[in-house]
Amino acid sequence: MRNVFLIVVVLGALLIGGGLVALGAFPPAAHVQTIEKVLPNDHFAPKT
């Protein structure tokens, strides 16, 4: 019984490790979206 539990734990760790290696080797593409937002340019505005 203990051997079965150990095998399941080791297989789970290998699957998680393999998934992390796969994500590191083939990262998902970044989602690119343009943001159009007007920001006030009051840096050079005269101070009142």
What's the CA gap between 27 and 30, in Å, rounded?
9
Residue 40 phi/psi, 5° resolution? -70, 130
pLDDT of residue 1: 86
Tokens at 7, concatenated: 């095998």
pLDDT of residue 37: 86
pLDDT tens digits along 16-48: 999 999 999 999 898 888 988 887 777 777 776
Residue owning tokens 């009142």: 48
Percent helix, strand, coil in the chain, to 5, is 50, 0, 50
pLDDT of residue 48: 65
pLDDT of residue 35: 86
